[in-house]
Amino acid sequence: MKVGHIQTLKVNRISDFGLYLIDEDGQEVLLPNRYVSLENKEGDEIEVFVYHDSEDRLVATTDRPLITEGKAACLKVVDKNIHGAFLDWGLAGKDLFLPNRNQQGGVLAGKSYIVWMYVDNITGRCVATMKLKPFIDNDIITIKPRQKVDILIASESPIGYRAIIDSRHWGMLYKNQIFKPVKIGDRMEGYVRRITDDNRIDLTLRQEGYDGVANSADDLLTLIKDNGGMISIGDNSSPEKVHALTQMSKKVFKRAVGILLKRGVIETDGESIKLK
CA distance to 32, 167, 224, 262, 274, per residue, from 228 (Å) = 51, 42, 7, 21, 9
Please name which of 46, 40, 39 lies closest in space to residue 21, comparing C-alpha atoms.
Answer: 46
Q: Are strands 201-204 and 169-174 parallel, antiparallel or unpaired?
A: parallel
Please state which of the ranges 19-28, 30-39, 42-51, 213-222 shows the lowest mean pLDDT: 213-222
What dotted CATH number matches 72-129? 2.40.50.140
Q: pLDDT for 186-226, tens place per residue?
A: 999 999 989 999 999 999 887 765 456 677 888 889 999 99
Q: Give the start-to-end residue ranges of the domains of the chain.
A: 6-61, 72-129, 148-204, 210-275
114 and 185 Cβ atoms separated by less than 8 Å: yes
Mean pLDDT computed over every residue of the chain: 92
Residue 31 has a pLDDT of: 96
217 and 188 Cβ atoms separated by less than 8 Å: no
204 and 177 Cβ atoms separated by less than 8 Å: yes
- Give mean pLDDT, residues 163-171: 97
Is the confidence at residue 76, as pLDDT, over 90? yes
What pTM, to 2 d.p., does this model score?
0.76
Q: pLDDT for 219-262, tens place per residue?
A: 889 999 999 999 999 989 988 888 888 877 788 888 889 989 98
Buried b / exposed e along 19-50 (16+ C-beta atoms within 10 A): bbbbbeeeeebbbeeebbeeeeeeeeebebbb
Please state which of the ranges 17-26, 62-71, 219-228, 243-252 shows the lowest mean pLDDT: 243-252
CA 34 – CA 41 distance, rounded (Å): 15
Residue 213 has a pLDDT of: 67
Domain 6-61 and domain 148-204 have a common topology: yes
Class of domain 148-204: mainly beta
Q: pLDDT for 90-105, tens place per residue?
A: 998 899 999 999 999 8
CATH 2.40.50.140 fits 6-61, yes or no: yes
What dotted CATH number matches 210-275? 1.10.10.10
Strand partners, 9: 46
Q: 32 CB contacts (<8 Å, ≥6 apart)?
A: 17, 18, 59, 61
Q: pLDDT for 114-148, tens place per residue?
A: 999 999 999 999 999 999 999 999 999 999 998 99
